[in-house]
């Protein structure tokens, strides 16, 4: 049995499969992912973390209420940052206003000028907040797309660390 390159890098659960051709002359089958031994057809979505937008908003509202006066928010307040998160699946617009203490969070469209706009899926946000997806990797693999000042984008790390102290407990309690 050959060892896949991905398992040598510490990812034994994730590698590509090529399905065999069914008959001569047929186009090769599309690449499939194997995640934890379960084969998922190309283009098919994995299960969502959040049931709907309402559950997402409830969890994040509770998390941001818990960290509104946290020391990890100092960088946002010092730089008077307003961060707009554009979340996909479910489609949500979330604003973190760091112009004053306590830092406020609102959902939906807003008239504020965003210092930074971050676009990502709800699942990627979940992984970031659990700490299973590092910020640098999310940026490098474009799971997180940022528009605005790149130096201020690194201030997201302070916000993420503050959120990571609270989110895993909320996720266990509210998402299971």
Tokens of 90: 């479910």
Strands 104-107 and 92-97, sheet pairing: antiparallel
Do 51 and 176 contact (CB within 8 A), yes or no? no
Cis peptide before 102 (omega within 30 of 0): yes
* Residue 18: band (very low, low, confident or very high) from pLDDT cuts 50, 70, 90: very low
Question: How many angstroms separate the CA atoms of 129 and 126, rounded?
Answer: 5
Question: How many angstroms separate the CA atoms of 138 and 112, rounded?
Answer: 26
Helical residues (DSSP H) of the chain, grouped into ranges: 5-8, 53-67, 74-78, 122-130, 135-140, 150-153, 156-164, 167-174
| Over residues 138-149, mean pLDDT | 90
Domain boundaries, given as residue ranges, for the chain: 5-40, 53-174
Would you state the pLDDT for residue 176?
A: 75
What is the pTM assigned to this prediction?
0.71
CATH superfamily of 53-174: SCP2 sterol-binding domain (3.30.1050.10)
Q: How confident is the model over 57-111, as pLDDT tens digits?
A: 999 999 999 998 888 788 889 989 999 999 999 999 999 999 999 999 999 999 9
| Over residues 105-122, mean pLDDT | 94
């Amino acid at each position: 049995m050959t060892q896949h390159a991905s398992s040598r890098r510490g990812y034994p659960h994730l590698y590509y499969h090529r399905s065999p051709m069914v008959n001569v002359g047929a186009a090769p089958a599309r690449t499939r992912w194997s995640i934890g031994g379960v084969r998922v057809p190309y283009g098919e979505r994995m299960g969502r973390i959040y049931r709907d937008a309402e559950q997402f908003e409830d969890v994040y509202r509770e998390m941001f209420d818990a960290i509104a006066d946290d020391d990890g928010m100092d960088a946002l307040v010092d730089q008077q940052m307003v961060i707009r998160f554009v979340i996909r699946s479910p489609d949500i617009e979330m604003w973190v206003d760091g112009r004053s203490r306590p830092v406020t969070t609102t959902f939906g469209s807003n008239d504020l000028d965003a210092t930074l706009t971050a676009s990502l899926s709800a699942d990627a946000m979940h992984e970031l907040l659990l700490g299973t997806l590092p910020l640098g990797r999310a940026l490098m693999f474009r799971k997180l797309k940022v528009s605005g000042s790149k130096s201020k984008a690194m201030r997201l790390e302070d916000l993420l660390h503050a959120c990571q102290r609270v989110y895993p407990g909320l996720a266990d309690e509210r998402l299971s």
